Amino acid sequence: MNELVRWDPFKAALPFEGSLLEMVPTVLRPVLDPMIRQGWAGPKMDVTETENAYELAIELAGVPKEAIQVGVYENTVTIGAEVAQPKTEEEPNWLLRERSFGKFARNLSLPEAVDQDSAQARYADGVLYLTLQKKRASQVKRLAIH
């Protein structure tokens, strides 16, 4: 006997099961595998909000402080860096290689604009800490009528 089943458009849109790596051609796996494991968005971060500021903690293990660039404009924060691959005299016989090298950038849009002049950055133990004060909303000035 046939049963009626509710149609799920999301299930129909994803006809494949299994991981993304099973669909990727073997030739592209060495390139895409680290990106998939690490996440497409770049370095992992935590973002918290207080009454007056946003606080960010961004994992940048192995990235020298001098290689990190941070930009703040209105409500957007951009974090970027370039990590150079270590130079060796001869090509090692890799058994496992998971570390990433090269350039990356990550943009984050915050709910409110921040004060660029009061932004603070600190780097310790492979974590970049940003404190971004919220921009004070313009107050309406009441004029006395004479």
Phi, psi of 46 (to 5 degrees): -115, 135
Name the residue type at position 56. Answer: L
Name the residue type at position 107. Answer: N
Closest CA to 108 of 52, 48, 34: 48
- Whether residue 108 is predicted with pLDDT greater than 70 in this model: the reply is yes
Given the candidates 3.40.50.2300, 3.20.20.190, 3.30.450.20, 2.60.40.790, the CATH classification of the domain at 41-86+99-133 is 2.60.40.790
Mean pLDDT of the chain: 78
Boundaries of every domain in the chain: 41-86+99-133
Q: How confident is the model at residue 1 (pLDDT cuts 50, 70, 90)?
A: low
Higher-scoring residue by pLDDT: 11, 76: 76
User: What tens digit of pLDDT does each residue of 7-62 get?
Assistant: 665 555 555 545 555 555 555 555 555 555 544 457 889 999 999 999 999 999 88
Q: How confident is the model at residue 104 (pLDDT cuts 50, 70, 90)?
A: confident
Q: How confident is the model at residue 140 (pLDDT cuts 50, 70, 90)?
A: low
Contact between 128 and 65 under an 8 Å Cβ cutoff? The reply is no
The whole-number pLDDT of residue 39 equals 46
Contact between 62 and 126 under an 8 Å Cβ cutoff? The reply is yes
Q: How confident is the model at residue 85 (pLDDT cuts 50, 70, 90)?
A: confident
The whole-number pLDDT of residue 25 equals 55
Per DSSP, what are the bridge partners of residue 103? 82
CA-CA distance, 76 to 70, in Å (whole number)? 11
pTM across the whole model: 0.63
Which 3 state secondary structure label does DSSP give 66? helix
CA-CA distance, 33 to 61, in Å (whole number)? 20
CA-CA distance, 112 to 132, in Å (whole number)? 11
